[in-house]
Amino acid sequence: MQKELQERVLQCARHFENLCGVQCVVVDTREERLVETCEERLFFCGQCRHERRDIINTYLYGASEAYRWNGSYVYYCPMGLVFAASSISCEQGELCGAIVAGPLVMGPLEDNLADIPDDAVRERTAGLPNFSTARVNDLVAVLSSVAAHACGVPHGKVGSFIYEQEEILKTLYNVQTLYRRDEGHSYPIEYERQLQQFIRQRDKDGSKLLLNQLLGQVFLASEFDLEQSKARIMELVVLLSRAAIDAGADINEIFCCNTSYIRAIEQMDSMEDLSVWITGIMHRFISYSFDFSQVKHSDVVFKVMEYVKNNYDKKLTLDEIAGSVYLSKSYLSSIFREESGYHLSHYINKVRVEKSKMMLLDGNARLIDIANLCGFEDQSYFTKVFKRFVGMSPKAFRDSRGEIDK
């Protein structure tokens, strides 16, 4: 991040922090560092006991996802605390940094404190800003506007579109000249091999230059036919994804992305959209090769838990839950079990049983009504699951006023 831009971003971050009461950290994604921060501001990072904890990656992940999702992103760190990130783009529309606000607590404070064993950490967590989901959304919307003002570049692809088109048009002109001079000129397959090598080395500048040259070759070889170009672009996506996997990206995530990319390509209706889109995909694949899995998996698990808590009274399907975090069913099931230690269905039943225990001790509602209100299909299944978790039937639990023999 250039010094002048860095100063503007730091100033805006300070104003935002003072106004909203939420700590802000500025991230330089190119140098992979936090700008002008101190150990006290990273207290919770220092207390994190996640086996793959990496402080800088927690912030780089937020910056990368904010850039991916049109400028802003709300996520959970491995400790279950909430952060809001807004990306900073350079004049060419490329990611160069972010303002990350947090940590803060979202939802009932008691739920967040329950799983913290350390008294000192619990006390510090209780002192964090505690926002509702709606207020967090308001916070990140304002933060996004602040970040856009600081860098002077709009979020999304608009900022990069003009620059990318200028670079691609230059390349097209050069390639077209080459074709006119040499009628026997063929598609340079060695460029593809070199592009893969650049991605493995995480060389963004070299990758971008070579990709532009390849795009020029693709468009001219297909005589600017959109459908033919789409087919070749899809081949490039496969090539890029394999290189990203070689560089360390998560194979399941890459394959999952490729499915959505196929649908996206089918909807493209211009060569300009295709060229900007494939450039963005390349940058995304390069960023995936960094080890964000520790943060991303924790983020996904906490978001799934929040989704279950908000929808426990409804019929929940794996399809629906996986869709809420944009993952395949098998991939979600795998990382949820890996991060939490139990199956997703077990967690859903656990939440429902805890909710039913409160209802059993609060009023005289019928068991069949409590079963329905907690999302169980029928009373007999409710009784079976409750007994498995609590060690006694719902009726016995109510009669004993929640006194469970140890």
Using one digit for the tens of pLDDT, what is the confidence trace for 95-126? 899 999 999 999 888 887 877 878 888 899 99
User: What dihedral angle (degrees, nearest 10) is formed by the CA atoms of 359, 360, 362, 366?
Assistant: 90
| Burial of 332 per CB tally in 10 Å (0-12, 13-18, 19+) | buried
Q: Give span(s): CATH 1.10.10.60, the chain.
A: 294-399
Q: Check residue 126 and give its pLDDT.
A: 93
- pLDDT at position 178 is 47
Please determine, for residue 370, whether its predicted confidence score (pLDDT) is greater than 60: yes
pLDDT exceeds cutoff 80 at 318:
yes
Backbone φ and ψ for 239, nearest 5 degrees, come out as -60, -45
pTM above 0.75, yes or no: no
Return d(Cα 362, Cα 392) in angstroms, integer: 18
Average pLDDT, the chain: 82
- H or E stretch covering 131: strand 130-131
- The whole-angstrom separation of Cα 103 and Cα 142 is 17
- Closest-CA residue to 164 (of 91, 103, 114, 239): 91
DSSP state, residue 314 = S
Q: How far apart are the first and last CA of the chain?
A: 59
Strand-pair partners of 35 = 26
Average pLDDT (145-167) is 61
Cα 184 to Cα 38, 171, 202, 214: the distances in Å are 61, 19, 33, 17
pLDDT at 276 over 90: no
CATH 3.30.450 boundaries in the chain: 3-151
Q: What average pLDDT does range 302-329 have in this prediction?
A: 91
Q: Where are the alpha helices (DSSP H) in 127-225?
A: 133-151, 158-181, 189-200, 204-221
CATH of domain 3-151: 3.30.450
Spell out the CATH class of 294-399.
mainly alpha
Looking at the predicted structure, is the pLDDT value of residue 320 above 50?
A: yes
Would you say 75 and 82 are in contact if contact means Cβ atoms under 8 Å apart? yes
- Asked whether the predicted pLDDT for residue 317 surpasses 90, the reply is yes
325: tokens are 């975090």
